[in-house]
Each structure stands twice: as C-alpha cells, then as structure tokens.
Amino acid sequence: MGQFSESGFPGVNSPATATYTYDHATRTEMFTLVKPGERAEIRVHDNYATGSRQFEGYVTVFAPIERQMVFQIWGSAEPNRATQMILRAFDQKGGSLLATNRVTDSPEVATGIYGREIKVNVIHLQEDAGGRILVFLDDQPVLDVPDTYRDIINATGNYHKYGCYGSFESTFTEARAQWRDVRHFRGGRAP
C-alpha cells in the first residue's frame, strides 16, 4: 500500500461564495460556504478503474450544516449519476453523517458530530479487488456494501473529493467543514 499526495487544488467558485484555507503547520484545511449551492472542495487527481484506493483524514463539521457533502467517491456507471458514495452532513441530532450509495438507503453512520473531530477511513475495492466499499469512523466499521456499479462507461473511472459542497439551505448563513491530516493510499486495508 503506497501513500500519495493529491495533485489537485481547491475548487472554490469565488471568495464571495466559498473559501478555502490551509495551515501547513497543522495540515488543516477549512472549507466554508457563504452562499447556497456553492462548493469548496478538493478533487484528488488519481482516477482509477481497477484495484483499490483508501482515503483517510480527520473531519470536524460545525453547526449549522444541512445536506453538505464532506466526502465523495466520484464516478458511477448509472446514467446521469456522478456519485458512487457520499458522506453527507445534516443538522439533525447534534449533527449527523449519512452514507449515500447506490445499494443501501442512506444509512446514518454518526450522530452528535458538531465540533467533534472524527477519523474517517474510506476504502474502495473495485470489482477486481473484492468489490466492496468500506467506511470506518474512529476506526469502527460503519458501512460495508457491495461495489456493483464500476464505471465501465466513463473512461475516467472513480476518484475522491472532499471538503464542504453541494446542497445548502438558504436559512443558514454559512456552512463549514474542517479536514486535518488528509492522506490517500493506493491499495487499502482496514484501520
């Protein structure tokens, strides 16, 4: 299993709608939305259609947040679908995380997350490597589903994205997610 660094840069529509900051000393990234429907995200430039990839990092979600994505495995063979799996934050129960994928009905994987740092591990095993998507929070398994939608139509395959992006309820004036010590691996194994 080899670690690699993302070769991407933050995607931010404009400073008036979203911001991104990085603290090199603490390896901390802050993603902030200040306008509904905007994006502050990092796209990992490591497309893959075979083998496995692992994403690891520590996320802190701040109140209030509603339906923002904080992590995504991009790419699906289904028409008009960009996503294989998403971790999405909601305002309910002191902040909650749901895992949305093409197999299960968006299970709630964590509650009481506001202001609490959570270790996230996502392992994507393509069909040739076991055909599973595994999610661990604070080193505990919270999701294990089949990967049955390998992107055979789109030649770009899958890749990872993280930050704070997607739906944004107009009643909120700001949505923030912080990531720390993010790492990406070719290969993948449970923590």
How high is the pLDDT of residue 158?
87
Structure confidence by residue, pLDDT tens digits, 2-17 = 444 443 445 555 556 8
Question: Using an 8 Å Cβ cutoff, are 30 and 21 in contact?
Answer: yes
How high is the pLDDT of residue 145?
86
Residues 6+ apart with CB under 8 A from 103: 145, 146, 148
Higher pLDDT, 48 or 110: 110
Higher pLDDT, 150 or 189: 189
Question: Using an 8 Å Cβ cutoff, are 5 and 27 in contact?
Answer: no
Residue 191: inside a domain: no
- Domain holding 113, by residue range, is 2-186
Distance (Å, rounded) from C-alpha 31 to C-alpha 14?
Answer: 13
Residue 7: inside a domain: yes
How high is the pLDDT of residue 129?
86
Query: pLDDT tier at 94 (50, 70, 90 boundaries)?
Result: very high
Mean pLDDT, range 91-95, rounded to an integer = 91
Distance (Å, rounded) from C-alpha 77 to C-alpha 93?
Answer: 34
* pLDDT over threshold 70, residue 80: no
User: Would you state the torsion angle of the CA atoms of residues 124, 127, 128, 133, taken in this order, to the nearest 10 degrees?
Assistant: 20
How high is the pLDDT of residue 83?
78
Domain count, the chain: 1
CATH code for position 70: 2.60.120.200
Structure confidence by residue, pLDDT tens digits, 137-170 = 999 999 998 886 654 545 568 889 999 987 655 5
Higher pLDDT, 80 or 52: 52
Structure confidence by residue, pLDDT tens digits, 105-143 = 678 899 999 999 999 999 999 888 888 999 999 999 999
Distance (Å, rounded) from C-alpha 110 to C-alpha 120?
Answer: 11
Residue 152: inside a domain: yes
Residue 54: inside a domain: yes
As a whole number of Å, the CA-based R_g of the chain is 16
